[in-house]
């Protein structure tokens, strides 16, 4: 995995950068947002539609695919790409976040984590080696190691122990992975909201020399400023020539702040999940299309948007679909939100290239928030 | 509305015919199957996808649209076509079938029918005139008059009274309709399973001279043979130069039998509804994709099918989507079933033109039924 980076030097936003991430299955222009296809499908979308929105890479989940349909079936299909009919890059999360979200259903040891399936209650044992092995079979282009994720908030000792275990597991994952040419294994920075733990983790992972670095354990309910502070202290400690991935962030405001600090990749269920609840992204923030105010509103979701949804359908029609529980409603809102984010990061790429990112940043914050109700960053 | 018909003369299947139905919004090659978009959307599909499957006309429902979003909003949008982004012909059912299905929620008089909304329990009064007026606002290309539908089975007197009322209401509908150039109002034949009532209704409607005739009250749970008998006695009494529409039929076997008797148009929720339950149409009958036997089946739904779904996805993947409650699963099965039916009728059109319909008919029945489990005609 090679990353070519151009970055802009201005007084305030010197870390914002645009680049090209080269993978065997395609080039990803960064900064990039990765739509989430947890179960081997980006909810409500076809692969062709995802490409149409402008996405160049999607995320899927080791934990979910391992449980259903199971690794063996995906292996038999010739890997995840062929199984789901997606030929561009895929990043697979290890499942650490999912397993540790199970709370009462899991038990962690130095060797690995025992958990019960959320589908049928069956018991499974995951180790760093197993997570790598499953992802080798899935054939994703970017793999994530199993990490020990703690709840927010957690005390210093718990956070430190989990971070140190994450480092030891990162080392084991690296040793277990033998397909470095085809699949890049990233390192994941943990350490909660304790600056010294974050710093220690960044330095240790950098020393292990991963082809890319992810920031985990953020966007878990904390205020945006708190996340930004962790980015501010972490990113300078990661090598500039490697891609940086901020996990679980998918709102325009948090994306912009992450990019301003040097993040290259993002993923989040937010744009697709809120879409299924009838919430759509516009430059001012969000619209809740089920609201009565849109019943006779014949304008598109975003009059400035050129997506399939905004070219052909009114807010009134989409509201009717949502109120009638029609699948097309979810499809249109999902399509719009993914298009919105893909075009948002594309506009930022242009701004960075043209050295106008500082202007873009100020304009965004002038317009955003106007409608209030922007509390959609974490879910 | 003009219909140009070419029909084949063979010994056994002399009534099968192919033709062109000319409307202001497009030509429909017949026999044709009309996908159902009850609430102003064919469930799970975009208009572009419906066209891709080969459909040239869809059906929507006056009753549902009148209740939600309401006639006023569709009027404000510039009619149903613009509201739902579909520029080919639309046939709207009057809502008679829906209103009379409400049972305890409705009360019928000579003037019209009072019913309570299935959505919010509000009370509404529909007359033949009102049904026409609403459809004038919807702007559908083919309109259906309000008819008095009886349950199956019903006794002779009840069926006769409803049929005679349907005739009086047909007359009133005709008088109320002033947009004959733009919108064709069909007559609906009722009379249950009583041959003399059916005959009387056919003759009376023919005398009123409608631009097309629908057969209602069929495909309501009776055996296929019973429906075929009613078609056999009814169709010879309808003018050959006018389109004939068999309401509520959407299985390949019943379509074929209808076409063999001279039917030109069909509609049914069957292909889209069973798709959402994971049932798909193949030349042998149906596959239930949720079944365990398909878990590792890497073949497409129908190896002979060239639809988007069959070109790109395996039964195993679609099963995984369905088991995981993923919307893409319903989209793919819906797409396939609509494509299957559109291409089924297209193959019949060719067979009739090439005077090989008798062969097609025999081949179909040799192959169909092999898998048993074809009890999907009525739902």
Q: Does the residue B274 lie in any domain?
A: no
Q: Kindly state whether A313 is in contact with chain B, defined as any CB-CB distance less than 8 angstroms.
A: yes
Q: What is the percentage of chain B residues whose pLDDT exceeds 90? A: 89
Q: Does the residue A200 lie in any domain?
A: yes
- Per-residue pLDDT band for A9 (boundaries 50, 70, 90) equals low
Q: Kindly state whether A366 is in contact with chain B, defined as any CB-CB distance less than 8 angstroms.
A: no
Is residue B71 located within the same domain as residue B104? yes
Element (H, E) at A32: strand A32-35
Residue B304 pLDDT greater than 90, yes or no: yes
Strand partners, B106: B115
- Per-residue pLDDT band for B10 (boundaries 50, 70, 90) equals low
A295 contact residues in B (CB cutoff 8 A): 69, 73
Is residue A164 located within the same domain as residue A103? yes
Q: Which of A251, A275, A299 is the last residue of a domain?
A: A275
Q: Which of B243, B268, B293 is the last residue of a domain?
A: B268
Q: Which of B319, B323, B327 sits opposite A327 (nearest CB)?
A: B327
Concerning whether B358 is annotated as a catalytic residue, the answer is: no
Q: Which of B268, B292, B314 is the last residue of a domain?
A: B268
A314 contact residues in B (CB cutoff 8 A): 77, 83
Is residue B293 located within the same domain as residue B260? no
Interface of A with B in 81-120 (CB under 8 A): 83-85
Q: Is-cis flag, bond preceding A153, omega within 30?
A: yes
Q: In this predicted structure, what is the pLDDT of residue A12? A: 61
- Answer yes or no: are the C-beta atoms of A262 and A3 closer than 8 Å: no
B311-358: per-residue pLDDT in tens? 999 999 999 999 999 999 999 999 999 999 999 999 999 999 999 999
What length is written for chain B? 379
| B73 to chain A: closest CA residue | A296
Question: Hey, what are A337's tokens?
Answer: 């939100």
Q: Does the residue B3 lie in any domain?
A: no
Q: Does the residue B376 lie in any domain?
A: no
What single-letter DSSP state applies at residue A7?
E
Q: Kindly state whether B291 is in contact with chain A, defined as any CB-CB distance less than 8 angstroms.
A: no
Flag if B320 and A45 touch (Cβ within 8 Å). no
Q: Does the residue A225 lie in any domain?
A: yes
Flag if A326 and B41 touch (Cβ within 8 Å). yes
- Per-residue pLDDT band for A377 (boundaries 50, 70, 90) equals very low
A10-24: per-residue pLDDT in tens? 556 779 999 999 999
Strand partners, A265: A32, A245
Concerning whether A267 is annotated as a catalytic residue, the answer is: yes
Q: How many distinct structural domains can be found in chain A? A: 2
Is residue A147 located within the same domain as residue A191? yes
- Answer yes or no: are the C-beta atoms of A247 and A214 closer than 8 Å: yes
A76 contact residues in B (CB cutoff 8 A): 296, 298, 316
Q: Which of B141, B264, B267, B302 is catalytic?
A: B267
Flag if A326 and B43 touch (Cβ within 8 Å). yes
Is residue A335 located within the same domain as residue A233? no
Query: By residue range, what is the domain housing residue A297?
Result: 280-367
Is residue B64 located within the same domain as residue B190? yes
Alpha-carbon gap, residue A211 to A181, rounded angstroms: 11
Is residue A215 located within the same domain as residue A316? no
| A276 to chain B: closest CA residue | B327
Flag if A43 and B83 touch (Cβ within 8 Å). no
- Answer yes or no: are the C-beta atoms of A348 and A31 closer than 8 Å: yes
Element (H, E) at B21: strand B17-23
Give every CB contact of residue B148 below 8 A, 6+ residues apart in sequence: B96, B100, B108, B162, B163, B165, B166, B169, B190
Q: Does the residue B374 lie in any domain?
A: no
Is residue B112 located within the same domain as residue B153? yes
Domain with residue B106: its CATH number is 3.20.20.105
| Mean local confidence (pLDDT), B24-49 | 97
Q: Kindly state whether B321 is in contact with chain A, defined as any CB-CB distance less than 8 angstroms.
A: yes
Is residue A145 located within the same domain as residue A255? yes
* ipTM value for the complex: 0.96
Flag if B327 and A331 touch (Cβ within 8 Å). yes
Q: Kindly state whether B41 is in contact with chain A, defined as any CB-CB distance less than 8 angstroms.
A: yes
Helix, coil or strand: residue A153: coil
Flag if A69 and B320 touch (Cβ within 8 Å). yes
Is residue A162 located within the same domain as residue A303? no
Q: Kindly state whether B377 is in contact with chain A, defined as any CB-CB distance less than 8 angstroms.
A: no
Size of interface A-B (CB pairs under 8 A): 99
Q: Does the residue A376 lie in any domain?
A: no
Q: Kindly state whether A45 is in contact with chain B, defined as any CB-CB distance less than 8 angstroms.
A: yes
Is residue A303 located within the same domain as residue A242? no
Give every CB contact of residue A2 below 8 A, 6+ residues apart in sequence: A21, A22
Residue A88 pLDDT greater than 50, yes or no: yes
Q: Does the residue B211 lie in any domain?
A: yes
The alpha carbons of chain A give a radius of gyration, in whole angstroms, of: 20
Question: Hey, what are B193's tokens?
Answer: 């399973």
A253-298: per-residue pLDDT in tens? 999 999 999 999 999 999 999 999 999 999 999 999 999 999 999 9
Is residue A264 located within the same domain as residue A289? no
B53-102: per-residue pLDDT in tens? 999 999 999 999 999 999 999 999 999 999 999 999 999 999 888 888 88
Q: Kindly state whether A321 is in contact with chain B, defined as any CB-CB distance less than 8 angstroms.
A: yes
């Amino acid at each position: 995995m090679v990353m070519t980076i151009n970055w802009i030097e201005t007084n305030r936003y010197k870390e914002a950068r645009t680049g090209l991430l080269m993978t065997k299955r395609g080039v990803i222009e960064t900064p990039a947002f990765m739509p989430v296809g947890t179960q081997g499908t980006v909810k409500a979308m076809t692969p062709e539609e995802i490409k149409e929105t402008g996405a160049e890479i999607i995320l899927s989940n080791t934990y979910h695919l391992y449980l259903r349909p199971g690794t063996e079936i995906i292996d038999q299909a010739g890997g995840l790409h062929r199984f789901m009919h997606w030929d561009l890059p895929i990043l697979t999360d290890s499942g650490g976040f999912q397993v540790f979200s199970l709370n009462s259903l899991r038990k962690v040891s130095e060797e690995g984590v025992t958990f019960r399936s959320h589908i049928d209650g069956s018991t499974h044992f995951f180790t760093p080696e197993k997570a790598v092995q499953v992802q080798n079979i899935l054939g994703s282009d970017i793999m994530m190691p199993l990490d020990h994720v703690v709840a927010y908030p957690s005390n210093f000792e718990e956070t430190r122990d989990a971070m140190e275990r994450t480092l030891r597991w990162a080392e084991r994952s690296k040793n277990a992975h033998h397909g470095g040419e085809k699949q890049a294994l990233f390192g994941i920075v943990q350490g909660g909201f304790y600056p010294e733990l974050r710093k220690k983790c960044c330095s240790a992972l950098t020393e292990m020399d991963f082809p890319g670095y992810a920031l985990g354990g953020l966007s878990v309910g904390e205020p945006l400023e708190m996340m930004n502070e962790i980015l501010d202290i972490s990113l300078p400690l990661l090598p500039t020539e490697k891609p940086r991935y901020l996990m679980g962030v998918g709102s325009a405001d948090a994306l912009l702040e992450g990019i301003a600090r040097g993040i290259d990749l993002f993923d989040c269920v937010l744009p697709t999940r809120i879409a299924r609840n009838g919430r759509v992204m516009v430059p001012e923030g969000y619209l809740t299309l089920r609201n009565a105010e849109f019943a006779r509103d014949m304008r598109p979701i975003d009059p400035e948007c050129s997506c399939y949804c905004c070219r052909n359908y009114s807010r009134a029609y989409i509201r009717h679909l949502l109120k009638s529980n029609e699948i097309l409603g979810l499809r249109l809102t999902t399509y719009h939100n993914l298009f919105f984010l893909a075009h948002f990061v594309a506009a930022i790429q242009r701004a960075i290239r043209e050295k106008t990112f500082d202007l873009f940043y100020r304009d965004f914050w002038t317009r955003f928030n106007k409608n209030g109700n922007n509390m959609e960053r974490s879910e």
